[in-house]
Amino acid sequence: MTDLFLENFCILCWRPSLSSHSAIKHCISHTQPHGALEYKRRRRLLSAVVSDLNLKCEGKVDFNQLIATIKSPDSFNRDIARTLKGGTWVEVAAGVLKKCELYYPDSFEKIRFISFNRFSNFTQWGGSVIRASELKESEKVISNWSNIVQGMTYSDERKLFIHLLARLQIEQRLLEIPHKRGPKIGSVKINEEIIKSFCVALLEKKELGTTVRLSEIARTHNVSRQTIHEKWHKFLSHEKVYRKVTK
């Protein structure tokens, strides 16, 4: 069953693939000729990482081969299915978040500021996770995600969501290029996390018509409402600069 779920994702990164029907699976960022240069760069990066990890791979190196370096998403899903069978949406979502902190700590740092209480299923939660991870082409990637999830059972939705978390873990742990050193806007860790929350909140306001809840963001990051309001107004004045920092 694992292979069927892997087929729903790009073979070069964490993103959902453009189509579940094509023979070769790529996302919008790695589809030729649209992303030809990025495609070649990504191939070189994957090869270098596999070589550094001394992984034995047959044929062309792809992203899926790196899943062996972390907790299996299928094993993660079995843990949830066994311990939270019959649980409510909130109970299951909370359980997934707790296990994510244990198994995929880098993914947890990315999603822990997204309140799953706003959603009623893994499709919606996954869309928000993608929006927080992909600021440039988020709505197109979310559209691909929604098309893939459409028609799935609740248990398969959950399993696909866990596969998404697994891929984000690999992306951040093994493949993200370190930021260059030097002072810049958002270089302090807490500021980076607040800016990411701002970016997601603003995107959701523009695309979904939701209200930006600054008080909730303040509580999440354990800072005062006054501080959040000051940072929010500064963010709105320099939005393009901040987005470059958080890519």
Count CB-CB contacts under 10 A for residue 99: 20
Whether 133 and 60 share a structural domain: yes
Whether 171 and 211 share a structural domain: no
Q: Do 8 and 17 contact (CB within 8 A), yes or no?
A: yes
Whether 70 and 136 share a structural domain: yes
Lowest-confidence pick of 38-42, 174-178, 192-196: 174-178
CA-angle at 172, arms to 217 and 19, nearest 5°: 95
Lowest-confidence pick of 25-29, 88-92, 134-138, 229-233: 134-138
Give tens-digit pLDDT for 157-189.
999 999 999 999 999 988 875 433 333 444 445
Average pLDDT estimate for 83-96? 93
Domain boundary among 116, 150, 175: 175
- CA distance to 156, 179, 193, 213, per residue, from 114 (Å): 22, 24, 11, 12
Average pLDDT estimate for 32-40? 72
Task: For residue 126, report the phi and psi dihedrals to the nearest 5 degrees.
Answer: -60, -40
Whether 113 and 162 share a structural domain: yes
In a domain, 180, yes or no: no
Whether 170 and 197 share a structural domain: no
Question: Which structural domain range is residue 19 located in?
Answer: 2-175
In a domain, 181, yes or no: no
Give tens-digit pLDDT for 99-146.
999 999 999 988 888 889 889 999 999 999 998 887 677 888 899 899
- Chain centroid, CA 244 distance in Å: 17
Whether 102 and 67 share a structural domain: yes
Relative orientation angle of helices 122-133 and 138-149, to the nearest 10 degrees: 160
pLDDT of residue 187: 41
Whether 223 and 104 share a structural domain: no
Q: Do 87 and 99 contact (CB within 8 A), yes or no?
A: no
Give tens-digit pLDDT for 49-77.
888 888 887 778 889 989 989 999 999 99
In a domain, 89, yes or no: yes
Q: How far is the C-alpha of 157 from the C-alpha of 162, rounded, in Å?
A: 9
Whether 204 and 120 share a structural domain: no
In a domain, 183, yes or no: no
Whether 215 and 237 share a structural domain: yes
How many domains does the chain divide into? 2
**Amino acid in the structure at residue 106:** D
Whether 98 and 217 share a structural domain: no
Count CB-CB contacts under 10 A for residue 172: 17
Domain boundary among 133, 153, 175: 175
Domain boundary among 118, 153, 175: 175
List helix spans (H) across the chain: 2-6, 36-52, 73-83, 89-103, 105-111, 122-133, 138-149, 154-170, 189-208, 214-220, 225-237, 239-246
Token couple for 152: 């799935």
Among 28, 20, 25, which residue's Cα sits nearest to residue 151?
Answer: 20
